[in-house]
Amino acid sequence: MTAGHAASLPGDLAAVLDTAWQLLEAAAGDLKAPLRTPVVIGLADNGPDGRVMVLRECRVASSQLIFHTDLRSPKAKNLQRDPRVAIVGYDATRALQLRLHGRAHFQTDEAAVDAAWRATSPTARRNYATHLPPGARLESASDGQPESIDDAAARRSFARMVVDITHIDWLELAAAGHRRAQFVAAADGWTGSWCVP
């Protein structure tokens, strides 16, 4: 599946799709970009459950978004059971909402995960070093981190979550008239259409 191959789309729809991917790619490298911290939604036992996550990487050629997370977390367990995921971001400077759908998997390629771990800051690594898993009950308020960090154990909890994006919904608000477009990934590229905002 290739996001770049939108040859079947009319020019302006193709440009919208390209812009969506460019914004996501730029956001992954820009600490201040609003689309860098979308809400990622999966299905938990009691229904939909969303949380903010940092977009770490956007692979335009393969239509993939990559996040880092703790394999022990409820979201990781739920997404391994049901990989369907919705991702919602809003860029207020552009009055642009992006709603994406896809399927998540947790990368098992040790070399890629090791490289991501090595590139992670010591502060961020500490998040994976808690003895108890994310969401575990505590007697009192605490960050849950031990006094000394077991780096190898923390590494085992660290995962790259790769989302294969299959649908994109673009909504741009404007005084002159809102515009909304939807795109669906197929084996030979993306198809798109305008729709009522």
Ligand X SMILES: Cc1cc2nc3c(=O)[nH]c(=O)nc-3n(C[C@H](O)[C@H](O)[C@H](O)COP(=O)(O)O)c2cc1C
Site residues (vs ligand X, CB under 6 A): 37, 49, 51-54, 67-70, 73-75, 134-135
DSSP 55-102: EEEEETTTTEEEEEEETTSHHHHHHHH--EEEEEEEETTTTEEEEEEE
User: Cα–Cα distances in Å, from 25 out to 17, 36, 58, 136, 167?
Assistant: 12, 9, 5, 34, 17
Nearer to ligand X, 54 or 113 (CB): 54
CA–CA gap between residue 123 and residue 113 (Å, rounded)? 18
Nearer to ligand X, 2 or 78 (CB): 78
Find the distance separating the first CA and the last CA of the chain, reported in whole Å.
27
CB of 63 to ligand X, least distance (A): 20
List 164's β-bridge partners, or say none. Answer: 64, 103
CB of 41 to ligand X, least distance (A): 10
Alpha helical stretches, state H, the chain? 11-28, 74-81, 110-119, 122-126, 151-157
Residues near 176 by beta carbon (within 8 Å), at least 6 away in sequence: none
Nearer to ligand X, 17 or 28 (CB): 28
> Do residues 4 and 183 make contact, with C-beta atoms less than 8 angstroms apart?
no
CB of 193 to ligand X, least distance (A): 32
CB of 71 to ligand X, least distance (A): 10
Nearer to ligand X, 43 or 149 (CB): 43
CB of 166 to ligand X, least distance (A): 22
Nearer to ligand X, 25 or 57 (CB): 57
Nearer to ligand X, 102 or 189 (CB): 102
CB of 98 to ligand X, least distance (A): 17
